[in-house]
């Protein structure tokens, strides 16, 4: 019997789902999450990929290996994990990193001093920090962060030296959605590499490579792993030349995850499909509750028809995810009252775990964003971000209602 397991998670389907009004689930993704890149061990028959802790591998003759020579360059556990995540994005190549920021930094290492990047303006605070305070001053790369939904502003941002376009959709924390296929055409018309951060939806709900992205990135710490116990990043691409460049940089820079972290993330991603369905179900319930509260100024959830880019979400996503951003009436005091009175939701940074989390972006995850930019992006004292977990829906809703009841206007 063959020990090779080759599984593709299928191609994108372009008909609307009767249940959510968006794309139907991607075919085979649950199977790929469990089996892609993970055949039974040929020596023992173990059905779970072993954790290979070896740093070095014996060679039959100088330069004659069994595929591995040194674990920074390649590791059996990491390769299984990279293959699995690539299959989930319907991609050819996956590369894993020690964190999402390490993944981003490795991509930026392809750029030379004087190169220019156009990025969507509403991105994760750590990404902005890496752009503005690390890459720009230390590597001489130039950045413009603009609203991709403003066609004129997006087009005007390009320069002769623009090499890369970076998009996060849905964005963090504003949940802004951008038409990936449209943005890809603009980026490619200018000869740029087009990168999409798919962290907030995971491959279960969105596949940017099928919509024109050259590279897809994830903070594995969120939905891919899904259990708030691994820091990691991963990128996926179908472009052989880009893969070779990035594989060289992965090895040369060396910001790789440990075999144990790869094992943990691979274990976590096996339940991606069942988790994402529960995240979405609970998020819908919370979004509806918040939308009906007299203490809430505004709710942003891609599944609500009131979301400014709801129609784009329906066109390119197979679901709406588990993230909600909303603004309370009042000020910082009201935000503190809400967040301090949550009991089931933990007040903590990060997202995408099985447990429900709440945070205050202006003080927590996006404190590194310049104050004037926070104002522009609506990251105010009354903005709160929720990551709806997979607890019982009734308990999640009751916790939100209890915290709302504690808010005094």
Task: Flag whether pLDDT at 7 surpasses 60.
Answer: no
Catalytic residues: 72, 124, 197, 222
Whole-number pLDDT of residue 9: 44
Read off the pLDDT of residues 53-77 as tens digits, 9 standing for 90 and up. Answer: 999 999 999 999 999 999 999 999 9
For the chain, what is the mean pLDDT? 94
Q: String of b and e for 318-357 (b: at least 16 CB within 10 Å)?
A: bbbbbbbbbbbebeeebbebbbeebebbbeeebbbbeebb
* 389 contacts: CB under 8 Å, gap ≥ 6: 279, 282, 322, 353, 354, 355, 356, 357, 396
Whole-number pLDDT of residue 374: 83
Whole-number pLDDT of residue 35: 97
Provide the β-strand partners of residue 219. Answer: 233
Task: Flag whether pLDDT at 114 surpasses 70.
Answer: yes
C-beta separation of 88 from 77 below 8 A = no
Measured distance CA(134)–CA(115) in Å, rounded: 15
Measured distance CA(122)–CA(74) in Å, rounded: 35
**Helices H, strands E: what count in the chain?**
15, 12
pTM: 0.93
Whole-number pLDDT of residue 247: 98
Read off the pLDDT of residues 117-176 as tens digits, 9 standing for 90 and up. Answer: 999 999 998 999 999 999 999 999 999 999 999 999 999 999 999 999 999 999 999 999
C-beta separation of 327 from 407 below 8 A = no
CB atoms within 10 A of CB 229: 12
Whole-number pLDDT of residue 8: 45
Whole-number pLDDT of residue 20: 66
Whole-number pLDDT of residue 376: 81
**Out of 40-44, 99-103, 190-194, 199-203, which region has the weakest mean confidence (pLDDT)?**
40-44
Whole-number pLDDT of residue 373: 82
3-state secondary structure of 217: strand
Task: Note if the bond before 170 is cis, omega within 30 degrees.
Answer: yes
**Span between the terminal Cα atoms of the chain, in Å:** 68
Q: How confident is residue 366, by pLDDT bands cut at 50, 70 and 90?
A: confident
Whole-number pLDDT of residue 215: 99
């Amino acid at each position: 019997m063959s020990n090779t397991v080759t599984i593709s998670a299928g191609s994108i389907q372009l008909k609307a789902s009767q249940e959510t009004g968006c794309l139907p689930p991607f075919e085979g993704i649950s199977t790929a999450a469990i089996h892609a890149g993970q055949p039974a061990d040929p020596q023992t028959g173990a059905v779970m990929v072993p954790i290979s802790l070896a740093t070095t591998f014996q060679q039959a003759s100088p330069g004659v290996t069994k595929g591995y020579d040194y674990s920074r360059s390649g590791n059996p556990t990491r390769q299984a994990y990279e293959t699995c995540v690539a299959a989930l994005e319907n991609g050819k190549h996956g590369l894993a990193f020690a964190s999402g920021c390490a993944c981003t930094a490795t991509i930026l290492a392809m750029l030379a001093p004087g190169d220019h990047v156009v990025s969507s303006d509403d991105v994760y605070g750590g990404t902005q920090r890496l752009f503005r305070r690390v890459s720009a001053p230390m590597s001489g790369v130039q950045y413009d962060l603009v609203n991709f939904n403003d066609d004129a502003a997006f087009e005007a941002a390009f320069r002769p030296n623009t090499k890369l376009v970076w998009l996060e959709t849905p964005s963090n924390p504003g949940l802004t959605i951008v038409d990936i296929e449209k943005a890809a055409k603009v980026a490619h018309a200018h000869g740029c590499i087009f990168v999409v951060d798919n962290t907030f939806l995971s491959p279960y709900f969105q596949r940017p490579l099928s919509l024109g992205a050259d590279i897809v990135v994830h903070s594995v710490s969120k939905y891919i792993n899904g259990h708030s116990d691994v820091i990691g990043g991963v990128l996926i691409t179908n472009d052989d030349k880009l893969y070779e460049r990035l594989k060289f940089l992965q090895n040369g820079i060396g910001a790789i995850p440990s075999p144990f972290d790869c094992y943990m993330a691979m274990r976590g991603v096996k339940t991606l499909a069942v988790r994402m369905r529960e995240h979405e179900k609970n998020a819908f319930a919370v979004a509806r509750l918040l939308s009906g509260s007299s203490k809430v100024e505004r709710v942003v959830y891609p599944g609500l028809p009131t979301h400014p880019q709801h129609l784009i979400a329906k066109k390119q996503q197979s679901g709406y995810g588990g993230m909600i951003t909303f603004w309370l009436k009042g000020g910082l005091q009201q935000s503190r009252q809400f967040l301090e009175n949550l009991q089931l939701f933990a007040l903590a940074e990060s997202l995408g775990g099985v447990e429900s989390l709440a945070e205050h972006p202006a003080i927590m995850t996006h404190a590194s964003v310049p104050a004037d930019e926070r104002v522009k992006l609506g990251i105010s004292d009354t903005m709160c971000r929720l990551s709806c977990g997979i607890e019982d829906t009734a308990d999640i809703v009751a916790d939100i209602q209890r915290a709302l009841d504690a808010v005094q206007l």
